Structure 1
């Protein structure tokens, strides 16, 4: 049977990550040489969109960038990867969102986030994209844009019968639980789960109890990402561990976004919930074997080869 081509909507952030590797921190007023600099595309929304697009989904992005050079670069990157940008607006006299990251020789970092144009994404932008979003199989949401916009997209999905997936990152205690219940899927990591529930998550039993609390509170499906320990699926029918895929990790940047973007692609194509989570676990595991976020995400052809190799080895 021919797999249907999935259509994914993403309402979320678009950033440029600016990374400088330093030998030591300068003091105020001092100028020192740094050995290396990198610039890459990021933002949780953009990362999830790119993962789904690289795996062959039709992806429409609803986002905002500035009217600066970085905004032009973000739009060019989306276009090169096949992400539909008709709903990525440019905000006059505004900067594109950035993360300025300083990394020392021990791997420790300092990060400065400038929300920039991401802060200008409004519920009206969701309405403007209604014709395209209403034809999506799944809409992905995160918390790097204003909460009112996230809530508007959740309400849109419920109104139009389109499934939605909320990745509550970065975690916020101020989430309206009534709005969160509108999501078809809520996908926190352990830290986000602890903030959402106010419960400890140090052990597997504590993670399970926190996930069950969200289910008891009326959330339809909870997917807890557990990094190297795989994932946990929680529904009203019970809990199901999703086994990890063991790899030699080099860089976990963007792994959670790889998981969500790939899950969306396979689930929207008609793959069963548990099978789509298994695919997502393998895809995210492969991403951590390479450095960076979007550039570490495998294409559809590459991922098929990875899965074929894993199948022969098992």
Structure 2
């Protein structure tokens, strides 16, 4: 069983079901409103735990009902929340998600307490970091905190996984030098490398730029097409996605990352089962998009194993 520590965001997702996305200045009717556990960090932790990983979480919530509810949901998924702290000033993060009839979404996030994570919070969790196989993070928490966690992880030979989402145009930080595996989508890869990712040649170019920045492995997720991977040893390949009818794509990428972390094998700093782990993660994502909401749609290992 892989030991996975996630440093990340915890949000209450307010999901609005609509027929079509509104145009600029347009008022539309909402068919249904749901309150669901979310946040990229929490989603990834849930995905890792349900896929068989032993998962710890580092994060912050507000002193409010949303925070209490979300922490309870994490505990129900056997996630250790000993290092989820309560901020006295800021509210728990919220995401406002519109989902249309084709399962496509549009998301607005109010970070709240997520952005109050400090270096001290990471320092308080050093014991669980050094005992982990993987430390995972995303850009819904302060970059300086991620850097602190990754730097400490690398000092103790713990593999680091960065999901650079939401996309940022410039990263003024040595974070990538402490990143073993980076997992962007096409937009996020383009934002950080300046390479428009629209072909195998451009994927290779973007991946090589990440390696020049210090990353050892690059996995570019391509939605319904699958995922492309590249290593500093110039090994690369493509793993196709499973063809399904999407109901809601929320948390598909988060499911991929959590499920992947639960399966990767690292021997002396080298991943030995990249394609198999990506295939497993693709299976998990294909199940997630067939359900509604973020965490409720994330599958358990037996569901993933059952996918042919």
TM-score by length of structure 1 reads 0.88
Structure 1 pair 106–56 and aligned structure 2 pair: CA distance change class (3 A): closer
- Tell me the CA shift for residue 93 of structure 1: 3.2
Q: Which of the numbers 225, 229, 234 marks the counterpart of 2:221?
A: 225
Q: Does 1:198 pair with 2:227?
A: no
Query: 1: CA distance between counterparts of 2:12 and 2:217?
Result: 32
Tell whether the 8 Å contact from 2:8 to 2:40 is kept in structure 1 after alignment.
yes
Matched ranges for 1:103-122 at <5 A: 111-122=107-118
For 1:275, the equivalent position in structure 2 comes to 276
Report the number of matched residues: 300
Q: SS where residue 19 of structure 1 aligns?
A: strand
Could you say what secondary structure the match of 2:197 adopts?
coil
Conserved in 1, the CA contact under 8 Å of 2:92 and 2:112? yes
Contact 1:44-1:257 within 8 A present in 2 as well = yes
Distance 1:112 1:219 in 2: 29
2:134 corresponds to? 138
Match of 2:180 in 1: 184
SS in 1 for 2:178: coil
Distance 2:92 2:169 in 1: 26
Is the Cα–Cα contact under 8 Å of residues 18 and 101 in structure 1 kept in the other structure?
yes
Question: Does structure 1 residue 244 correspond to structure 2 residue 271?
Answer: no
Runs of 4+ in 1 over 4 A off after TM superposition: 22-25, 31-34, 102-111, 268-271
8 Å Cα contact 1:137/1:268 also seen in 2: no
Report the structure number with the largest CA radius of gyration. 1
Partner of 2:251: 254
1:106 Cα offset (Å): 8.4
SS of match in other structure, 1:181? helix
Partner of 1:212: 208
Alignment map for 1:71-150 (pairs within 5 Å): 71-102=67-98, 111-150=107-146
Q: Residues 281, 108 of structure 1: CA spacing in aligned structure 2 closer, same or farther, 3 A cutoff?
A: closer
TM-score normalized with structure 2 length = 0.90
Alignment of 1:150-169 (within 5 A): 150-169=146-165
> Match of 2:295?
294
Whether the 8 Å contact between 2:57 and 2:84 is mirrored in structure 1 is yes
Determine helix, strand or coil for the equivalent of 2:229: strand
**Alignment partners' CA distance in 2, 1:46 and 1:186:** 18
Deviation at 1:300, TM superposition (A): 1.7
